[in-house]
Chain A
Amino acid sequence: MSEDAKADVKLDLSGVMCPMNFVKTKLQLEEMDEGQILEVIIDEGEPVRNVPRSVKAEGHKVLELEEVPDGHYRLVIEKADV
């Protein structure tokens, strides 16, 4: 997937702590269809360690995880059929 891949939904979860950032990610994914793309912005530290792992544990695909300015990370997820 290329850098400028189009996300179907974007969620800014900067400043949202664990596990609420994952709860919100999970609820958003529940609303989406299989194959759709969700982009979330999360904080460095605990969130970037936990959220991608939890997303994978639920069976979704992590397409990208990259550092963006201001100590945040951009996580791109493809919704799986779960």
Chain B
Amino acid sequence: MAFTDEQLERYSRQILLKEVGGAGQKKIAAAKVFLIGAGGLGSPSALYLASAGVGTLGIIDDDVVDLSNLQRQILHSTKTINHSKVESAEETISKMNPDVKVNKYTGRLNSENILDIIKDYDFILDGSDNFPTRFLVNDACFFLKKTLISGSIFRFEGQLTTLRPHNVENGPVPCYRCLYPEPPPPGLVPSCQEAGVLGVLAGTIGIMQAAEALKEILGIGESLAGRLLIYDALDMSFRRVRVPKNPNCHLCGPKPTIHELLDYEISCTMPSPG
């Protein structure tokens, strides 16, 4: 695949990077990335992945744009209130970079549809706002051996990690269940109505998810696999903590007890208004 002069100019500032070059730009163009949620985290991830020239972006969201989303969900605008989020997302992305193919999925991921929906994508970015989806996505990515870049935000704090238990190049690395074996019981975490978030935090974490995805696509740098990055906007501090693989993990351990996908009850127990 050769680049047009227009594409060379569009991507010139990253082709200039020694670690990218023409070969890297071709990898980016060939990459297929799936975004779970076109909300606070998915918005900046999608915009930067699209601007970098990621060839195919799959986006799933079952929601419509609400006025209260606009404080942080920068794919959407006052004009697209009440429009489907995936439609609104495609519109914004196409305006910014028409090279990108956007595959839209309206609806919710469940144990019946997730494998089929994500199987053709190379990397999965989780920007969902609830635990049942997070566990479902983790388990599906584990079964399909897909690298999952997980982000979450809550109040003034965000978390980010890369999950690729199938890749043991640099020793064993954890899955999401190694960090959190089961979803928390409903009621233990604040409800949707009680949770608040600093909008800009979604940008910080979503953009770092996109950065991790680009590193995975290019095969450069040091991944966050095996580490959890915790960002506190109030202190403006980043902490990187080691997260070991749980040798007794029910999913990725040597004696797994989870052999199929589970649908946890969707309740209003969000870690973050993603």
Contact = CB atoms under 8 A, between A and B. Distances in A.
A19 B14 CA distance: 11
A30 B22 contact: yes
A24 interface: yes
Contacts of A82: 18
B10 to A, nearest CB: 11
Given A26-B21, A27-B21, A27-B22, A19 B16 contact: yes
B8 A20 contact: yes
A54 B21 CA distance: 13
A9 B59 CA distance: 43
A30 B23 contact: yes
B16 A23 contact: yes
B9 interface: yes
Chain B interface, DSSP helix/strand/loop, else mixed:
helix
Contacts of B9: 20
How many A residues touch the partner, as a band? 10 to 19
A58 interface: yes
Contacts of B21: 26-27, 30
Nearest to B8: A23
- B interface residue count range (under 10 / 10 to 19 / 20 to 34 / 35 or more): 10 to 19
A27 B15 CA distance: 8
Contacts of A54: 16
B13 to A, nearest CB: 8
A73 interface: no
Contacts of B18: 58, 82
B12 interface: yes
Interface in B66-91: none
A19 B22 contact: no
Contacts of A31: 22
Interface in A7-22: 19-20, 22
B12 A23 contact: yes
A34 B22 CA distance: 17
A20 to B, nearest CB: 6
14 contacts: A19-B12, A19-B13, A20-B8, A20-B12, A22-B16, A23-B8, A23-B12, A23-B16, A24-B8, A26-B15, A27-B3, A27-B8, A27-B21, A30-B21
Nearest 9 pairs of A and B residues by beta carbon: A27-B22, A23-B12, A30-B22, A23-B15, A30-B21, A19-B16, A23-B8, A58-B18, A20-B12
